[in-house]
Amino acid sequence: MAEIGLRVSPALASGEWVAPLLGAAIFGAVLLKGSAVIGDPDIQWHIETGRWIAAHASVPDRDIFSFSMPGAPWHAHEWLSELIFWAVFRLSGWSGVVATAASAAGVGFALLAAALARHLQPRHVVIVSMAAFAVASQHILARPHILTWPILVLWTDALCLARERKTVPHPAALLLMVIWANLHGSYVFGVALAGFFAAEAIWHAPCEVRLTVVRGWGLFLCGAALVSLLTPHNPLENIRFAFGFLDGSGFIAPIGEWQPADFGTLSGLELVLLGLLALALLGRIQVPPLRILLLVGLIQLALTHVRHGELLGLVAPLSLAPALARGLYGDSVAATSSRRMPPLVIIGALALFTGSWASRADVAPPAAVSPIAAVNAARQAGLLKEPVFNHFNFGGFLIAAKVPVLIDGRADLYGAAFLSRYLEATSLARPDSLESLLDRYGIRWTLLPPGTPAIALLDHLPGWTRLYADEYAVVHRRVVPGR
């Protein structure tokens, strides 16, 4: 079975510009997306959660935003990301939030390029990095997950480097896991990835040292699992939520980012998969069987759920780089010592540019998730203190407006049964489903996007009248006799 050896490009010295330049290019590309980066409704309730944490100096473990689940158990698992986004929003508004997401993406890809430079020549670093960006870019949003991109790259690189050197990752890498576990639930993938590399190390270890390898990687893996529990939450609840990140079935399946990949239109994922197929057919790249298994697993995640494309984009290049170098350069490439670009240099440069851009930019969430005019109409009608039947995508905006919601993006709070009833009501999938839900929660007004099937029924439902409509939202109110 093929072993993974260390291959470093001799042209590294002349290509040290690649990583910072590529990071800056990614940073600029994300900035140019502007309001699209904050076009996801969840960022608004994430910021409000950060605001609550700062005000109360604690992390909530109960629902604080809805009227449908008052006091229900809910843990702000991404509390550190939420606190960061709130602090940035408070200092520099939405432009700062966009710039923070762009910085995280830029740093992540700069670190990826710097790691790839141990194996590949500059032109190939650029090609592989841009392919990785094409896959990951489908999930570039100002949300907690994007803050973990640099950590994901550093963690994966630490595991790959340990395998190249036939040693165990440095214990300092465990600090990454502590931060990761408090930023986003994807840390469970990091633990699983460490388990994969531990299994690979044990598989390839000679019999005389296998016990030593088992002990070393076993201690590191146990350490990663234990430090991931260093959060403000109950460990069992933390684990349940974290595995839900990779599951994506049941109550979160109807949400767009948890849908399977759609090849109806050409995408970066499709182009990269076709490129991998072409390389395989050419037969020049010989990938060790266990790394093939890892690649297949990453592709399966990306195909099953759109949001997992970033895992394929950021992990696969690092795990395949040694094999790619052997296929491109053969044995003529001599191993040399590489000078890694300090992450602080990247962070410092991007921070300066971020501050300059954020002070002048004017961005805001699009009206598709921030129906300002519709909510103003409801406010003028005195409805904001009444129970609302809101669309899922309007939940974050209503929370930011201090309006208790029926539903928002916290799918772990609402669960499968509630979301199923909600979807039946909005789509009119079952007779009387909408009327039943309206009566059950004492709904007095609705806020739905045009085209929602429930709107057609509300237009003709006795006791309801249309109050406001534009291209982004329609408001109905219940007509109460005597009021």
What DSSP string runs through 58-90? S---B--SBSSSTT-B---TTHHHHHHHHHHHH
- Residue 213's pLDDT is 95
Total Cβ atoms within 10 A of residue 327? 16
> DSSP letter string over 83-129?
HHHHHHHHHHHHHHHHHHHHHHHHHHHHHHHHHHTTTS-HHHHHHHH
Cα–Cα nearest to 445, from 67, 70, 72: 67
pLDDT digits (tens, 9 = 90+) for 160-202: 999 999 999 999 999 999 999 999 989 999 999 999 999 999 9
Give dist(CA 168, CA 66) in Å, integer: 47
Query: Who contacts 61 (Cβ-Cβ below 8 Å, separation ≥6)?
Result: 73, 74, 75, 76, 233
Cα dihedral 90, 364, 141, 86, rounded to 10, equals: 10
What pTM, to 2 d.p., does this model score?
0.89
pLDDT digits (tens, 9 = 90+) for 63-92: 999 999 988 999 898 999 999 999 999 998
Which of these ranges, 96-100, 101-105, 232-236, 460-464, has the smallest mean pLDDT? 232-236
**98-102, 134-138, 149-153 — most confident range:** 149-153
- Residue 303's pLDDT is 87
- Residue 270's pLDDT is 81
Average pLDDT over residues 455-464: 95
pLDDT surpasses 90 at 33: no
Pairing mode of beta strands 474-478, 445-448:
antiparallel
Burial label for 149, CB within 10 Å (0-12, 13-18, 19+), is buried
- Residue 379's pLDDT is 97
Cα-Cα end-to-end distance for the chain: 79
Give dist(CA 435, CA 438) in Å, integer: 5
Give dist(CA 1, CA 251) in Å, integer: 42
Contact 141, 175 (CB under 8 A): no
Cα dihedral 243, 248, 251, 252, rounded to 10, equals: 120
The DSSP 8-state label assigned to residue 347 in this structure reads: H
- Give the burial string for 422-460 (b: 16+ CB within 10 Å, else e): bebbbebeeeebbbebbeeeebbbbbbbeebebbeebee
Give dist(CA 306, CA 447) in Å, integer: 27
- How would you classify residue 302: left for phi > 0, otherwise alpha for psi between -120 and 50, otherwise beta? alpha
Lookup result for tokens 């020049």? 284
Give dist(CA 333, CA 327) in Å, integer: 11
Of all residues in the chain, the percent with pLDDT exceeding 90 is 64
Give dist(CA 47, CA 306) in Å, integer: 24
The DSSP 8-state label assigned to residue 393 in this structure reads: G
- H or E element that contains 390: strand 388-390
- Residue 249's pLDDT is 45
Sign, CA torsion 406/410/411/414: negative
- Residue 235's pLDDT is 72
79-116 and 174-183 helices, crossing angle to 10°: 130
- Indicate the residue type of 16: E
pLDDT surpasses 80 at 254: no
pLDDT digits (tens, 9 = 90+) for 212-227: 999 999 999 999 999 9
Average pLDDT over residues 262-279: 80
3-state helix, strand, coil in the chain (%, to 5): 65, 5, 30
pLDDT digits (tens, 9 = 90+) for 402-431: 999 999 999 888 988 898 899 999 999 888
- Residue 244's pLDDT is 60
- Residue 243's pLDDT is 64
- Indicate the residue type of 43: I
Total Cβ atoms within 10 A of residue 185? 21
Q: Return the domain boundaries, the chain.
A: 12-358, 372-478
Total Cβ atoms within 10 A of residue 129? 25
The DSSP 8-state label assigned to residue 205 in this structure reads: S
Average pLDDT over residues 326-343: 58
Total Cβ atoms within 10 A of residue 355? 13
pLDDT surpasses 80 at 245: no
The DSSP 8-state label assigned to residue 173 in this structure reads: G
Query: Which residues on adjacent β-strands are paired with residue 62?
Result: 73
Kindly report the backbone phi and psi dihedral angles of residue 100, in degrees, each rounded to the nearest multiple of 5, phi listed first: -65, -45
- Residue 210's pLDDT is 94
Give dist(CA 79, CA 231) in Å, integer: 9
Give dist(CA 187, CA 378) in Å, integer: 41
- H or E element that contains 397: helix 395-400
| Confidence bin at 328 (pLDDT 50/70/90) | confident
Q: How far does Cα 41 stand from its chain's mean position?
A: 14
Average pLDDT over residues 459-473: 96
Query: Who contacts 359 (Cβ-Cβ below 8 Å, separation ≥6)?
Result: 92, 95
Average pLDDT over residues 25-54: 93
Q: Give SS3 for 360.
A: coil
Q: Which two tokens stand for residue 328?
A: 């491109």
pLDDT surpasses 70 at 466: yes
